[in-house]
Amino acid sequence: MTQPPNQNPGPYPEQDPNASSKFGTEGYAPGAFGGPMAEPKKFQTLKMLTLVSLGLYVIGGIIGFIPLFGSEAEQQIREELERQNVTVDDQVIQGSIMIGAAVAGIMLVIGLVVYLLVYFGLRAKKNWARILGIIFAILGIVSTLYSLVVDTEMAFINAAAAVGTVLTIASAAVAIYWLVLAFDGQVKQYLQQR
Phi, psi (rounded to 5 degrees) for 84: -90, 10
Of 174, 178, 186, nearest in space to 59 by CA: 174
Residue 130 has what pLDDT?
Answer: 96
Residue 113 has what pLDDT?
Answer: 97
Which parts of the chain have pLDDT scores under 50?
Answer: 31
Residue 155 has what pLDDT?
Answer: 58
Residue 70 has what pLDDT?
Answer: 75
Residue 15 has what pLDDT?
Answer: 55
Residue 170 has what pLDDT?
Answer: 94
Residue 122 has what pLDDT?
Answer: 96
